């Protein structure tokens, strides 16, 4: 058993690009679901807007990279308005139905063969983020201070190191996580936040006090959607590629899992939830593979090709246990959850 490999991968997944992307997706969902009570099952569509906004902006429309980023965020605003206008007046279940459908519609449109010339069809688009890496200030060569790597053997600590380009993505990505969290924190302590949290509890009560409930729900949908689109932008940049099948419904539910694991309506809930989710997945994945390779698990019981599925079952079982013993997640307040159930 290569314990160092297990430790290395688990640690890198804790702060890696997946954790950043899902943290941003989950922060957006936290605004929607955790604070405003909007059940958005189509968060992946907002990520797709950000990712394809960048990719298509550069490759299809020939915009500069930075303008393309804004195109992606603007596309998320448009999507939020389109989804919100017909559904926000209605009960929350309708938003759930419409968003889950919208997520699939976006994916199917992006991969359709007839749009291959603009979206790249099922192959997607590649190599559009060069200007992002051109301004990477991190040199490829450098020094190391004991276990701290500063360019010599990548960037990082001890065995957990990343190459300069990945490190650059992570710096910008975690910076965005910090900025958006700061913004959500500032909003949620304000009277604006009080209104959206009250809408989560009972929107008719909020109406009866003279607040324009539908407008606040729209603002929340846009805010959370744009934060999700930022996640999509980072996702696209980190791979220098977009592929439609990366934007399936499962992504939305992983983001929900991360959010609930960390605790809803908490600033650090989605961040820590996403980090732990990916670290756990990586840990079980590498551990199982090591166990199979080193014959700790008999081959007729588990083979290496099945590990990818088994790890989801194990992590899923773990999450079920968490929900049983700690339904409020890591940061949640048990009393608050109990009151929510009573209604």
Partner 1 sequence: MSGADLSKTSGPSLAKAAPHEGLERVPGVPKPDPILVADSVRRTFGGLTAVDVDHVEIQRGTITALIGPNGAGKTTFFNLLTGFDKPDSGRWTFDGQDLAGLAAHKVARRGMVRTFQLTKSLARLSVIENLKLGGTGQRGENFFRGLFKPIWGAQEAEIEARADELLVRFKLDHMRDEFAGSLSGGQRKLLEMARALMVQPQMVMLDEPMAGVNPALTQSLLGHVKSLREDGMTVLFVEHDMDVVHDISDWVVVMGEGRVIAEGTPRDISADPAVIDAYLGSHHDAPLSAEEEEQVLAEVEEAIAGEEAG
Contacting residues for 316 by C-beta, under 8 A, at least 6 apart: none
Please tell me whether residue 195 binds partner 1 under the rule CB under 8 A. Answer: yes
Q: Whose CA is closest to 234, among 171, 169, 293, 190? A: 169
Q: Which of 151, 197, 249, 319 binds partner 1 (CB under 8 A)?
A: 197
Q: Could you give the string, one character per residue 321-340, with x where binding to partner 1 holds by CB under 8 A and - elsewhere?
A: --------------xx--xx
Q: Counting Cβ atoms within 10 Å, is residue 299 exposed (0-12), middle (13-18) or buried (19+)?
A: exposed
By C-beta, is 56 or 73 nearer to partner 1? 73
The alpha helices in the chain, defined as continuous H runs, are 3-15, 17-29, 43-59, 65-87, 92-111, 116-119, 130-134, 164-188, 191-201, 203-208, 213-239, 249-262, 269-293, 307-325, 334-342
CB of 183 to partner 1, least distance (A): 7
By C-beta, is 95 or 199 nearer to partner 1? 199
Please tell me whether residue 200 binds partner 1 under the rule CB under 8 A. Answer: yes
Please tell me whether residue 183 binds partner 1 under the rule CB under 8 A. Answer: yes
CB of 216 to partner 1, least distance (A): 8
By C-beta, is 93 or 202 nearer to partner 1? 202
Please tell me whether residue 202 binds partner 1 under the rule CB under 8 A. Answer: yes
Q: Which of 91, 116, 189, 306 binds partner 1 (CB under 8 A)?
A: 189
By C-beta, is 181 or 219 nearer to partner 1? 219
CB of 186 to partner 1, least distance (A): 5
By C-beta, is 169 or 196 nearer to partner 1? 196
By C-beta, is 169 or 213 nearer to partner 1? 213
Please tell me whether residue 210 binds partner 1 under the rule CB under 8 A. Answer: yes
The C-alpha torsion from 335 through 339 and 341 to 343, rounded to 10°, is -170
Please tell me whether residue 241 binds partner 1 under the rule CB under 8 A. Answer: no
SS3 of 113, please? Answer: helix
Cβ–Cβ < 8 Å for 171, 15: no
Please tell me whether residue 212 binds partner 1 under the rule CB under 8 A. Answer: yes
Q: Which of 201, 306, 316, 320 binds partner 1 (CB under 8 A)?
A: 201
Q: Whose CA is closest to 165, among 153, 152, 150, 155? A: 155
**Stretch of residues binding partner 1 (CB under 8 A), selected from 51-59, 64-72, 146-154, 200-208:** 200-208
Q: Give how many residues touch partner 1 by CB under 8 A.
A: 33
Q: Which of 62, 137, 141, 191 binds partner 1 (CB under 8 A)?
A: 191
CB of 202 to partner 1, least distance (A): 4
CA dist 242 and 75 (Å) reads 16
* Tokens linked to 310: 């088994």
* Tokens linked to 150: 């500063």
* Tokens linked to 299: 């081959």
CB of 165 to partner 1, least distance (A): 33
Contacting residues for 217 by C-beta, under 8 A, at least 6 apart: 36, 38, 84, 88, 196, 199, 203
Q: Give the CA distances from residue 91 to residues 28, 46, 95, 149, 211, in Å, rounded to whole numbers and listed in that order.
A: 20, 22, 8, 53, 17
Name residue, tokens 């500032």: 186
Q: Which of 141, 145, 204, 305 binds partner 1 (CB under 8 A)?
A: 204
| Positions that interact with partner 1 (CB under 8 A) | 183, 186-187, 189-195, 197-198, 200-202, 204-213, 219, 223, 335-336, 339-340, 342-343
């Amino acid at each position: 058993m290569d314990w160092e490999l297990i430790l290395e991968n688990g640690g890198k997944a804790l702060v890696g690009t997946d954790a950043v992307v899902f943290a941003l997706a989950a922060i957006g969902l936290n605004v929607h679901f955790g604070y405003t009570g909007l059940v958005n099952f189509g968060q992946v569509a907002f990520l797709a807007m950000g990712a394809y906004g960048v990719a298509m902006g550069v490759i299809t429309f020939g915009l500069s990279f930075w303008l393309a980023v804004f195109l992606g965020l603007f596309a998320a605003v448009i999507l939020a308005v389109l989804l919100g206008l017909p559904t926000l007046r209605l009960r929350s279940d309708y938003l759930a139905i419409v968003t889950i459908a919208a997520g699939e519609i976006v994916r199917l449109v992006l991969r359709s063969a007839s749009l291959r010339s603009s979206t790249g069809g099922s192959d997607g688009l590649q190599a559009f983020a060069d200007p992002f890496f051109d301004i990477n200030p991190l040199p490829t060569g450098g020094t190391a201070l004991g276990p701290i790597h500063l360019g010599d053997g990548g960037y990082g600590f001890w065995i957990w190191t990343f190459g300069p380009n990945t490190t650059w993505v992570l710096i910008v990505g975690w910076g965005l996580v910090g900025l958006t969290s700061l913004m959500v924190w500032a909003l949620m302590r304000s009277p604006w936040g009080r209104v959206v949290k009250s809408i989560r509890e009972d929107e008719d009560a909020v109406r009866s006090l003279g607040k324009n409930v539908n407008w606040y729900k729209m603002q929340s949908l846009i805010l959370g959607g744009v934060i999700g689109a930022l996640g999509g932008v980072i996702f696209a940049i980190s791979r220098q590629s977009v592929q439609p099948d990366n934007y399936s419904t499962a992504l939305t539910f992983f983001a929900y899992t991360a959010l609930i694991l960390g605790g809803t309506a908490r600033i650090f809930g989605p961040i820590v939830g996403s980090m732990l989710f990916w670290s756990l997945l990586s840990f079980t994945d590498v551990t199982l593979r090591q166990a199979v390779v080193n014959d700790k698990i008999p081959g007729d019981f588990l083979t290496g090709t099945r590990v990818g599925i088994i790890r989801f079952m194990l992590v899923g079982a773990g999450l079920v246990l968490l929900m049983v013993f700690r339904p409020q997640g890591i940061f949640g307040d048990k009393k608050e959850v109990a009151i929510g159930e009573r209604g």
